[in-house]
Amino acid sequence: MIVHLTFDEMADVAFIEELNDDSKELILRVQSHILDCTECKAMYDKLYALRSTADRLVNDGPMMQKSAALRFIRTLTDNFTLTQDRVQRWFDKVISETSELYLTVVKTQLGRITEISSLSSDMFDFGYALPIGARGSETHGVIDKTVLIDDNDTDNRVSVVDGNCLVVQFRTENFASPDPHILIVSDTGDVRCSKLSQNGEVFEARFYGLEAGEYRVYFE
């Protein structure tokens, strides 16, 4: 039986920071294994590509710190049951940075989400000219800043329920995959992944207990 490399072993080598006796031994082991194993080599190549991307982004401007990238990968494999195939597809998403949304989540000290905002999106147009969430949410001149609505399709929306649960909802026709997932990555590298569940014409996912901060949002 073939004993494959673990994800952490490959990540440790792809993101190696310093050479010592332990890391040299690991590098030798990983490199000799991927010479003969196309399966592990494919994953290692993805990790290495991600490291290169992270390095380039750090040089261009610290959009994604190397350590955040590594935490990102680790969290994926620690907390979620994702197949290696799905992890690879996420890497492709991160590397190509397609279909990306940015969210800003603002919370009060009591932990309620008081504001969400979107900075950019390839797939949807949340660039509504009036203040965020004004359309359909404005009551008596009070602007609800906890709702984002796609300018082209009001079924595409991001909102907050009960002050602490972020709900993302998108029309099913926006997704090619019959089993789509959503991944949100905070600016500190924390990652949450959720399967989108179908509710009639829309897919929906809920995230509880998000910290304040900026999030990149990826769909698959």
Shortest Cβ distance from residue 19 to Zn ion (Å)?
Answer: 23
Q: Is 4 in the site for Zn ion (CB under 5 A)?
A: yes
By CB under 5 A, the residues from 98 to 137 that bind Zn ion are none
Tokens in use for 57?
Answer: 């982004």
CA–CA gap between residue 74 and residue 7 (Å, rounded) = 9
Q: Are 75 and 188 in contact (CB under 8 A)?
A: no
Shortest Cβ distance from residue 88 to Zn ion (Å)?
Answer: 14
Tokens in use for 77?
Answer: 């494999």
CA–CA gap between residue 120 and residue 125 (Å, rounded) = 8
Shortest Cβ distance from residue 38 to Zn ion (Å)?
Answer: 8
Q: Is 37 in the site for Zn ion (CB under 5 A)?
A: yes
H/E element holding 109?
A: none
Q: Are 166 and 116 in contact (CB under 8 A)?
A: yes
Number of residues that bind Zn ion (CB under 5 A): 3
Of 14, 3, 23, 11, the closest CA to residue 77 belongs to: 11
Of the CA atoms within 13 Å of residue 20, those in its CB half-sphere come to 4
Nearer to Zn ion, 34 or 191 (CB): 34
CA–CA gap between residue 52 and residue 94 (Å, rounded) = 12
Nearer to Zn ion, 37 or 106 (CB): 37
Shortest Cβ distance from residue 104 to Zn ion (Å)?
Answer: 41
Near Zn ion by CB under 5 A: residue from 10, 11, 40, 76: 40
Shortest Cβ distance from residue 21 to Zn ion (Å)?
Answer: 24
The one segment of 33-41, 58-66, 134-142, 182-190 that binds Zn ion by CB under 5 A: 33-41
Shortest Cβ distance from residue 27 to Zn ion (Å)?
Answer: 16
Exposed/middle/buried for residue 100 (C-beta within 10 Å: 0-12, 13-18, 19+): middle
The one segment of 34-42, 53-61, 148-156, 165-173 that binds Zn ion by CB under 5 A: 34-42
Nearer to Zn ion, 43 or 205 (CB): 43
Q: Is 9 in the site for Zn ion (CB under 5 A)?
A: no
Sites of contact with Zn ion (CB under 5 A) = 4, 37, 40
